[in-house]
Structure 1
Amino acid sequence: MAQDLVVPLAPNVWRIPLVRDLVNGFALRDDDGQVTLVDMGVSSSGPKVMAALAAIGSGPRDVTRLVLTHAHPDHAGGAAHVARQTGRGFTVHHDDAAHVVEGSSPPRDRSVLLGRLLDRVTRPGRDFEPVTVEHEMRDGDVLPIAGGLRVVHTPGHSPGHVSLLHEESRTLITGDAIFNVLGLRWPVKAFCTDFRMTQRTAHVLGELDYDVAAFTHGAELRDRPREAIRRFLSRRSPS
């Protein structure tokens, strides 16, 4: 297995470094060989996702589900390429589904100047190439993926932002609720729809049970990650 293409997190669960460790996707494989891919990185990342698929010994025909944690171009940028290669549409939370279909980011936090400026340049199809949504997920859903992938709605970064808990391997995919870049930190305010909501809803991540915390931005935590996330959240409670 090419270690530079995939990082094993648990049996049949891998992180896919798409821009070093700064932007990540994920792959999960069922016992029968079916593969689910989560997040496709930036616009140039599609081929890297497919190379990672080959690195775990699977191919496009094995992919039965594509999932996006939210509709931002650093997660959905490579989505169209992967969709064409696999022939699959996407699973996304109901509140971000329309944005995925039109290829646009949700509104940014207008209390932040950069957020207002970013909103001015957002246009359908400009942020990322539109893709088909074949399933809309909601909070508490358990997707039939590798023994069950629980949907944890953590809105704020976007209206339909989700974190995902693979209960069988006790692996949490945080999405952009929390970054692990030079330590645990919040996502950039201007990229959030509602930064204060991001801070509020992330607290649910301290209430879940997991042994590995995997981030879409930054490397995973394996040493008591729940305690580390709880400490981060307790120090940075929203006012």
Structure 2
Amino acid sequence: MAPPPAVAVAPGVFRIPTVGSWAVNSFALVDDDGSVTLVDAGLDRAPARIVAGLAALGKRPADVQRIVLTHAHLDHAGGAQEMAARTGAPVAVHAEDAGFAEAGTSPPNDRSYAIGRIFARLQNGRFPPVPVGEKLVDGQLLDVAGGLRVVATPGHSPGHISLLHEPTRTLITGDAIFNVLGMRYPPRFFCTDFRMTRRTAHVLGELEYDRVGFTHGPDIVDGAREAVRRFLARTVKPHTPE
């Protein structure tokens, strides 16, 4: 059975599966005026699925006013160039990942692990480069559907962010946490600094939210914060300042 083109996570917040039912997801946030903010753009073949997801919401590419990337990896930014061209929307990404998005190359892998050094030699991490119209910073409140908070969670990439939609109390984790066969961290060989990924994820346990959307994995809409905090309690070392 084909996956649904779009899944409601919260009022005005929708997950758009771009690979399988939930293997790789983008998100659409619909504002009161009908405009759309797209979060992540999948692989380079994802735009057709994203456009189909928008259509299921009664939206067209022209309704997309902003594209926000949680980070500059090819499974999140690969479709950004085409979606920016189709929509005319500017692309926003954290300042630390902006140069990678514009160059069309993923940040370096964590080479402190042997598997990271091996993976770095095997993959090129390239995707179509995309101009960056806005460089995001931690704590920034975007004027998106009543307020979308930028939450810096670096480590998976230098400028990795999660996003908190404050009106619906919905967290989008990006790749700070996966929900694939249960919650877990991203594979260490995909991270720039895996230890930092584990360390900064504690921030997600301190926020207030009721639902969680994952770029990799299905949503949690009941007891989401408690589930995330249980996961972090099992795995995250206490945070210490750098």
Aligned partner of 1:142: which letter?
L
Aligned pairs (5 A) from 1:76-225: 76-120=77-121, 127-225=126-224
- Equivalent in the alignment of 1:16: 16
Residue 122 (structure 1) shift: 6.0
Output the CA distance in 2 between the equivalents of 1:4 and 1:122.
31
Assess if the C-alpha contact under 8 Å between 1:179 and 1:186 holds in 2: yes
**Secondary structure in 1 matching 2:202:** helix
Aligned partner of 2:213: which letter?
A
Output the CA distance in 2 between the equivalents of 1:226 and 1:53.
28
Assess if the C-alpha contact under 8 Å between 1:105 and 1:122 holds in 2: no
Structure 1: segments with no counterpart, 5+ residues: none
Output the CA distance in 1 between the equivalents of 2:234 and 2:9.
27
Please list the CA deviations of residues 18-71 of structure 1 after superposition, one character each: whole Å capped at 9, or x if unmatched: 112111000001100110000111121111111111111111221110010000
**Secondary structure in 2 matching 1:222:** coil
Output the CA distance in 2 between the equivalents of 1:108 and 1:158.
9
Output the CA distance in 2 between the equivalents of 1:132 and 1:118.
27
Aligned partner of 1:227: which letter?
E
Residue 3 (structure 1) shift: 7.2
Output the CA distance in 2 between the equivalents of 1:11 and 1:38.
16
Assess if the C-alpha contact under 8 Å between 1:104 and 1:122 holds in 2: no
Aligned pairs (5 A) from 1:31-46: 31-46=32-47
When normalised by structure 2's length, the TM-score is: 0.94
- Equivalent in the alignment of 1:61: 62
Residue 211 (structure 1) shift: 0.8
Please list the CA deviations of residues 99-142 of structure 1 after superposition, one character each: whole Å capped at 9, or x if unmatched: 0000000111011223223334566xx61000010000000000
Give the aligned length. Answer: 236
- Equivalent in the alignment of 1:7: 7
Structure 2 CA distance for partners of 1:3 and 1:188, relative to 1, 3 Å: closer
CA RMSD of the aligned region, Å? Answer: 1.5
Assess if the C-alpha contact under 8 Å between 1:156 and 1:197 holds in 2: yes
Aligned partner of 2:10: which letter?
A
Output the CA distance in 1 between the equivalents of 2:11 and 2:214.
18
Of the structure 1 ranges 193-202 and 110-119, higher mean CA displacement relative to structure 2 is found in: 110-119
When normalised by structure 1's length, the TM-score is: 0.95
Output the CA distance in 1 between the equivalents of 2:145 and 2:213.
16
- Equivalent in the alignment of 2:29: 28
Assess if the C-alpha contact under 8 Å between 1:47 and 1:81 holds in 2: no
Assess if the C-alpha contact under 8 Å between 2:211 and 2:221 holds in 1: yes
